[in-house]
Amino acid sequence: MENNFDVEKFLQKKEEFDELQKLLSRESRIYVEVAKNIAGKGDGQTLFVCDPVNTTDLVVALCKRIIEKEMMPVIILTTINYKAAKKVLKEANIEDKVFIIDTVSKGISNVVDHENVLFVDSLRNLTQLQIKIVKLIQQNKNIAFIFDALNVLELYHSQLIIMKFTYSISKLLKKYKLDAYYSITKASLTPKLGQFFDNIVEIGKIE
């Protein structure tokens, strides 16, 4: 009897399975850390300090936590564009439950606002970003904000401007009693920005 067992194919599938399990395990562990530290509603302004490798998983975990409380997460993208974000959100089965403000795409392509996605010219234009946030708040109060990597602002602005912007945004959202979750991947910024937040959560590198 001929043996049709393909060892190479088996090992390849096993490797793919192991990678998938590793990914699911990482996502699950990050969600556990998020759920342990925030309720998903009524948290105020929370700063998450995490490793760059976990930024996207953190955003997804925050979205899931907010959705559990029957609210809509609004992600302000600074590191990836809306297409990449939508792909990740689709894999997590939450694509249709999330609103996106994209600060990346307009600098590289011709895009226009459409359903559940708004575009800002660039992170250089913080005034425009604030205007979009205010308009969104006026249309829907049942939302919570997620800022993807505040430290990316360092590529465009001085630390003084970053501090002023963070203070302004946190004050605005407190005024409307809206929760917001901010991530940074540069721990050295924590002492300077920490004063603007109700909670600071550090998540160690999870691989």
Confidence at residue 184, expressed as pLDDT on a 0 to 100 scale: 95
Angle (deg, nearest 10), helices 55-68 and 7-37: 60
Convert the pLDDT of each residue in 27-57 to its tens digit.
Answer: 888 998 999 999 999 999 999 999 999 999 9
Spans of all domains in the chain: 7-202
Q: Mean pLDDT, the chain, as a whole number?
A: 90
Written out in words, the top-level CATH class of the domain with range 7-202 is alpha beta
For residue 170, how far is the Cα from the chain centroid? 16
| Interatomic CA distance for residues 202 and 184, integer angstroms | 10
Residue 161 has which token pair? 């401007």
**106: Cβ–Cβ under 8 A, 6 or more apart, which residues?**
119, 120, 121, 122
Convert the pLDDT of each residue in 125-150 to its tens digit.
Answer: 999 999 999 999 999 989 999 999 99
Q: Quick one: average pLDDT of 196-206?
A: 94
Task: With cut-offs at 50, 70 and 90, classify the pLDDT of residue 68.
Answer: very high
Task: With cut-offs at 50, 70 and 90, classify the pLDDT of residue 60.
Answer: very high
Convert the pLDDT of each residue in 97-108 to its tens digit.
Answer: 999 999 999 988
**15: Cβ–Cβ under 8 A, 6 or more apart, which residues?**
none
Confidence at residue 170, expressed as pLDDT on a 0 to 100 scale: 96
Cα–Cα distances in angstroms (integers) from residue 189 to residues 11, 35, 56, 66, 192, in the given order: 44, 24, 20, 26, 5
CB 186 within 8 Å of CB 23: no
Residue 142 has which token pair? 């049942």
